[in-house]
Structure 1
Amino acid sequence: MRYLVLSDIHGNWPALEAVLQAAPPFDRVLFLGDAVGYYPDGDRVLDWLREVEALCILGNHDAWLLALDQLPLEGVVLEILAWQRARLSEANLRFLASWPWQREVEGTLLVHGSPCDPLEYLDELELAREGFRCTEARLAFHGHTHLAGAFLELSGPRPWVRYQGFAQGGELLLPPTVRALVNPGSVGQPRDRVPGAAFALWEGNRVEFFRVAYPVERVAERLREEGFPEWLYTRLTRGE
């Protein structure tokens, strides 16, 4: 089974379209959370995830959108989520509300943040060491940081952990003695200073990382149409 692994789309439909045009053939979609937030087309993104029967987990933006009635509407992020919630179809709201915080696929863990906490940013070696201790899975996929890469743990009396970035794409092969916490990067808003839409393909012990260019001007047009802040477009041009 070959899986298309996506994370952090954040309502950026042109970026997702580019991924679908560039991706090699795949059998199933795994989505690591944050379908909504930042960019205007959250409903369209959810339509697609629902149509392809993607296996999805909640991200923090997804959870915030569902809990808006319990949150103070302060700041641009929550204002955008409120705008999006008012425009989501009832079918997509129900779909979003059905997502768990984590799930397993073929013994592999899917979580948005860390195996220890779905809202934790897994961006330091010590946090990765804790993450490995919080799961028995040999492989876990996560998102949240918007950084394409993998924390690798070499088993032994004192496990050794290192980080390998894949902002420019690449391939990761997992030998039997290695465990991995893998982030495919963000489809909708990369933060590793490499513009474009990030995604990964997973099959067995092999993960391929990709970064595909797309016309970010289309996103700028959508932002202007809906009155969203200009800085959301600027971030895309800088990969931050």
Structure 2
Amino acid sequence: MRYLVLSDIHGNWPALEALLQKAPAFDRVLFLGDAVGYYPDGDRVLDWLMAVGAECVLGNHDAWLLALERLPVEGVVLEILAWQKARLLPRHLEFMASWSWQKEVEGALLVHGSPCDPMEYLDDLAPAREAFRCTEARLAFHGHTHLAGAFLELQGPKPWVRYQAFPEGGELVLPPTVRALANPGSVGQPRDGVPGAAFALWEGDRLEFYRVNYDLTAVQRRLLEEGFPEWLYARLTLGE
């Protein structure tokens, strides 16, 4: 079984559309959260996730959108989520509400942030070491940081953890004595200095990381059409 692993699409339909046109063949889709937020087309992203029967876990933006009635709508992030929620259909909200914070697929753990806390950023060795202690899974997929890469733990009496970044793609093969916390990067808003839509393919012990270029002006047009902030386009041009 070959899995397409996606995270942090954030309503960026042109990025997802380009990714699907260029990605190698896959059998199933794993989605690590944050379908909505930042860019206007959360409804189209959710329609696609439903259509392909994706295995999904909840991201912080997804959870915030579902809980907006209990949150003060202040700041650009929540204002965008409120705008999106007003345009989603009941089927979209029911679909998102069915997502759990964690899910297991073929022994791999899916979570948005950390196995310890789905809202935690795995952006350094210290939280990564703690995250390995919070799961027995040999492989865990996460998003949230928008950084493509993997924390690797060499098992032994005193486990050793290191980080390997994949901002421009690459391949990772897991030896039997190594565990991994792998992040495919962000489809909709990469933050590792490389523009484009990031994703990964997983099959057995092999992970392949990809970065696909696409027409960023298509996103810019959508932002202008809906009156979204221009800096959301600027971030895409810089990959940050």
Instruction: Say yes or no: TM over 0.5.
Output: yes
**Structure 1 letter corresponding to 2:202:** W
1:133 is matched with: 133
Q: Matched residues in 2 for 1:22 and 1:135: separation?
A: 33
- Could you list the runs of 5+ residues in structure 1 that have no partner in the other structure? none
Deviations 1:139-169 (A, max 9, x none): 0000000000000000111000000000010
Q: Matched residues in 2 for 1:64 and 1:126: separation?
A: 27
Q: Matched residues in 2 for 1:96 and 1:183: separation?
A: 21
1:84 is matched with: 84
1:8 is matched with: 8
Q: Matched residues in 1 for 2:207 and 2:19: separation?
A: 16
Secondary structure of residue in 2 paired with 1:180: strand
1:61 is matched with: 61
Deviation at 1:89, TM superposition (A): 1.1
Secondary structure of residue in 2 paired with 1:72: coil
Deviations 1:188-220 (A, max 9, x none): 000000000000000000000000000000000
- Could you list the runs of 5+ residues in structure 2 that have no partner in the other structure? none
Root mean square deviation of aligned Cα? 0.3
2:99 is matched with: 99
Q: Matched residues in 2 for 1:159 and 1:64: separation?
A: 36
Secondary structure of residue in 2 paired with 1:123: coil
Q: Matched residues in 2 for 1:177 and 1:22: separation?
A: 33
Deviations 1:164-195 (A, max 9, x none): 00001000000000000000000000000000
2:41 is matched with: 41
Secondary structure of residue in 2 paired with 1:185: coil
The alignment's TM-score, normalised by the length of structure 1, stands at 1.00
Q: Matched residues in 1 for 2:40 and 2:186: separation?
A: 16
Q: Matched residues in 2 for 1:214 and 1:236: separation?
A: 11
Alignment of 1:49-198 (within 5 A): 49-198=49-198
Q: Matched residues in 1 for 2:160 and 2:53: separation?
A: 37
Deviation at 1:44, TM superposition (A): 0.4
Q: Matched residues in 1 for 2:136 and 2:18: separation?
A: 35
The ranges of structure 1 where at least 4 consecutive aligned residues each deviate by more than 2 angstroms after the TM superposition are none
Deviations 1:105-160 (A, max 9, x none): 00100000000000000001010000000000000000000000000000111000
Q: Matched residues in 2 for 1:153 and 1:116: separation?
A: 16
Q: Matched residues in 2 for 1:90 and 1:136: separation?
A: 37
Give aligned-pair identity as a percent: 80
